[in-house]
Chain A
Amino acid sequence: MKAAAFDYAKPKALSEAIGLLSEAGEDARLIAGGQTLLATLNLRLSEPSVLIDITNIDELKGISLTGNQLRIGALVTHTEIEDSELIAKHAPLLKVAVPHIAHRAIRNLGTWGGSLAYGDPAAEWPACSLALNATMLIAGPAGERRISAQDFFVDLYTTSLEPDEILVATEIPIATSNQVFYFHELARRHGDYAIAGAALVAEKQGNVLSECAFTFFSVGATPVMAKKAQALVNGRPLTGELIASAVAAARDEIEAMADITNSAETKEHLIGVLLERGLKHLLAE
Chain B
Amino acid sequence: MSLKKKITMTVNGLTVNAEIEPRRHLVDFLREDLHLKGPHLGCEQGACGACTVKVDGQIIRGCLYLAVQADGCEVETIEGLTKNGTLADLQESFMRRNAMQCGFCSSGMLLAAAELVEQRPHASREEVREWISGNYCRCTGYHSIVDAIVDVLEARAKGEKIKPVVAHA
Complex: A51 Cα to B25 Cα, angstroms: 14
Contact A2 B23 (CB under 8 A): yes
Interface centre among B5, B59, B63, B116 (most CB of A within 10 A): B59
Contacts of A191 in B (CB 8 A): 130, 133-134
Secondary structure dominating the interface of B: mixed
Contacts of B134 in A (CB 8 A): 102-106, 191
Contact A189 B23 (CB under 8 A): no
Contact B130 A190 (CB under 8 A): yes
One digit per residue, 1 when the CB lies within 8 angstroms of any chain B CB and 0 when it does not, for chain A 92-116 equals 0000000100111110110000000
CB distance from A30 to the nearest CB of B (A): 13
CB distance from A129 to the nearest CB of B (A): 23
One digit per residue, 1 when the CB lies within 8 angstroms of any chain A CB and 0 when it does not, for chain B 39-80 equals 000001110010010000011110111101100000000000
Contact B23 A5 (CB under 8 A): yes
Complex: A38 Cα to B62 Cα, angstroms: 11
B29 is an interface residue with CB less than 8 A from chain A: no
CB distance from A109 to the nearest CB of B (A): 6
A42 is an interface residue with CB less than 8 A from chain B: yes
The count of A-to-B residue pairs whose CB atoms sit within 8 angstroms is 88
Q: How many residues of B contact A (CB 8 A)?
A: 30
CB < 8 Å: which of B45, B49, B64 contacts A109?
B64
Contacts of B133 in A (CB 8 A): 103, 189-191
B154 is an interface residue with CB less than 8 A from chain A: no
Contact B66 A8 (CB under 8 A): yes
Could you say which interface size class chain A belongs to?
20 to 34
Known A-B contacts A108-B58, A109-B65; the reply to A8 vs B22 at CB < 8 A is: yes
Contact A34 B66 (CB under 8 A): yes
Contact A8 B58 (CB under 8 A): no
Contact B64 A103 (CB under 8 A): no
Contacts of B116 in A (CB 8 A): 104
Contact A39 B45 (CB under 8 A): yes
Contact B45 A3 (CB under 8 A): no
Contacts of B23 in A (CB 8 A): 2-6, 41
B165 is an interface residue with CB less than 8 A from chain A: no
Interface centre among B3, B25, B46, B58 (most CB of A within 10 A): B46
Known A-B contacts A3-B23, A5-B3, A39-B45; the reply to A104 vs B66 at CB < 8 A is: no
CB < 8 Å: which of A3, A8, A41, A189 contacts B5?
A8
B150 is an interface residue with CB less than 8 A from chain A: no
Complex: A156 Cα to B65 Cα, angstroms: 26
A79 is an interface residue with CB less than 8 A from chain B: yes
Complex: A109 Cα to B26 Cα, angstroms: 14
Contacts of A53 in B (CB 8 A): 69
CB distance from B76 to the nearest CB of A (A): 13
Contacts of B112 in A (CB 8 A): 103-105
Contacts of B52 in A (CB 8 A): 105
Contacts of A142 in B (CB 8 A): none
Which residue of chain A lies nearest to B134 when distances are taken between CB atoms in the complex?
A: A103
CB distance from B120 to the nearest CB of A (A): 10
Contact B45 A104 (CB under 8 A): no
| Contacts of B107-132 to chain A: CB distance below 8 A | 112, 115-116, 130-131
One digit per residue, 1 when the CB lies within 8 angstroms of any chain B CB and 0 when it does not, for chain A 176-191 equals 0000000000000111
Q: List 29 A-B contacts (CB under 8 A).
A: A3-B23, A5-B3, A6-B3, A6-B22, A8-B3, A8-B5, A8-B22, A8-B68, A34-B66, A38-B25, A38-B46, A39-B45, A39-B46, A39-B64, A41-B23, A42-B45, A102-B134, A103-B134, A103-B135, A104-B59, A104-B115, A105-B134, A106-B46, A106-B61, A106-B64, A108-B60, A109-B64, A189-B133, A190-B133
Known: A39-B64, A105-B134, A106-B64. 16 other contacts (CB 8 A): A2-B25, A3-B25, A7-B3, A34-B64, A38-B63, A38-B66, A79-B58, A102-B46, A104-B59, A104-B131, A105-B60, A108-B58, A108-B60, A109-B60, A190-B133, A191-B130
